[in-house]
Amino acid sequence: MITTDILIIGAGPTGLFAVFEAGLLKLKCHIIDALPQIGGQLSELYPKKPIFDIPGYPSVLAGDLVHNLMEQIKQFQPGFTLNEKAETIKKLEDGTFIVTTNKGTEHHAKAVAIAGGLGSFEPRKPIIESIEFYEDKGVEYFVKDPELFRDKKIVIAGGGDSALDWSVFLADVASEVTLVHRRNEFRGALDSVEKVQELKKQGKIRLVTPAEVTGIRGDEHVEELDIEIDGAHSTIKTDYFIPLFGLTPKLGAIAHWGLEIEKNAIKVNNALDYQTNIEGIYAIGDINTYPGKLKLILCGFHEATLMCQSVFNKLNPGKKYVLKYTTVSGVDGFDGTRKEAEKQVVKAID
Amino acid sequence: MSDVTITITDREGVVHEVQAPTDMAMNIMELCRAYELAPDGTIGVCGGMAMCASCQCYILNDVEIPEMGPDEDAMLSEAFNVKPNSRLGCQIPITPELEGLALELAPE
Per residue in B14-42, pLDDT (tens digit) is 999 999 999 999 999 999 999 999 988 89
For residue B54, list chain A residues with Cβ-Cβ distance below 8 A: 248
Average pLDDT over residues A205-222: 95
User: Quick check: A106 and A30 in contact, CB under 8 A?
Assistant: no
In this complex, is the C-beta atom of A13 within 8 Å of any C-beta atom belonging to chain B? no
Q: What is the pLDDT of residues B57-77, one digit of tens each?
A: 999 999 999 999 988 998 998
Least confidently predicted of A74-78, A160-164, B55-59? A160-164
* Domains defined for chain A, CATH in brackets: 2-121+248-339 (3.50.50.60), 125-245 (3.50.50.60)
Average pLDDT over residues A156-171: 93
Average confidence score pLDDT of chain A: 94
ipTM of this complex: 0.82
Q: How many CB pairs under 8 A join A and B?
A: 55
CATH number, domain of B23, equals 3.10.20.30
**pTM of this prediction?**
0.85
Q: What is the pLDDT of residues A126-147, one digit of tens each?
A: 999 999 999 999 999 988 889 9
Give me the percent of chain A exceeding a pLDDT of 90.
82
**Which are the contacts of A60, defined by CB distance < 8 A and separation ≥ 6?**
A50, A51, A54, A68
Question: DSSP readout, A305-330?
Answer: HHHHHHHHHHHSTT-------HHHH-
Number of independent structural domains in chain B = 1
In this complex, is the C-beta atom of B80 within 8 Å of any C-beta atom belonging to chain A? yes
For residue A249, list chain B residues with Cβ-Cβ distance below 8 A: 41, 45
Q: What is the pLDDT of residues A223-236, one digit of tens each?
A: 999 999 988 999 99
Instruction: Tell whether the model's pLDDT for residue A248 goes beyond 90.
Output: no
Confidence class for position A342, pLDDT limits 50, 70, 90: confident
- A33 annotated binding-site participant: yes
The range of the structural domain enclosing residue B19 comes to 3-105
Looking at residue A156, what is its pLDDT? 97
Looking at residue A146, what is its pLDDT? 94
Query: In Å, what is the CA distance from A83 to each residue of A124, A147, A152, A327?
Result: 17, 18, 25, 36
Whether residue B51 and residue A249 make contact (CB cut-off 8 A), yes or no, is no
Q: What is the pLDDT of residues A30-46, one digit of tens each?
A: 999 999 999 999 998 88
Q: What is the pLDDT of residues A11-25, one digit of tens each?
A: 999 999 999 999 999
* Residues A177, A180, A184, A187, CA torsion sign: negative
Whether residue B54 and residue A248 make contact (CB cut-off 8 A), yes or no, is yes
Whether residue B77 and residue A182 make contact (CB cut-off 8 A), yes or no, is yes
User: Quick check: B19 and B34 in contact, CB under 8 A?
Assistant: no
For residue A187, list chain B residues with Cβ-Cβ distance below 8 A: 70-71, 74-75, 77-78
Q: Please name the residues between 21 and 60 in chain B that touch chain A, using a CB distance below 8 Å.
A: 39-42, 45-46, 49, 51-52, 54
Confidence class for position B1, pLDDT limits 50, 70, 90: low
Average pLDDT over residues A157-162: 90
Looking at residue A308, what is its pLDDT? 98
For residue B74, list chain A residues with Cβ-Cβ distance below 8 A: 159-160, 183, 185, 187
d(CA A11, CA A281): 17
Nearest CA-CA partner of A77 in A331, A340, A342, A341: A331
Whether residue B52 and residue A251 make contact (CB cut-off 8 A), yes or no, is no
Q: Out of A124, A158, A264, whose CB is closest to B40?
A: A264
Q: What is the pLDDT of residues A250-288, one digit of tens each?
A: 888 999 999 999 988 999 998 899 999 999 999 999 999
Whether residue A185 and residue B46 make contact (CB cut-off 8 A), yes or no, is no
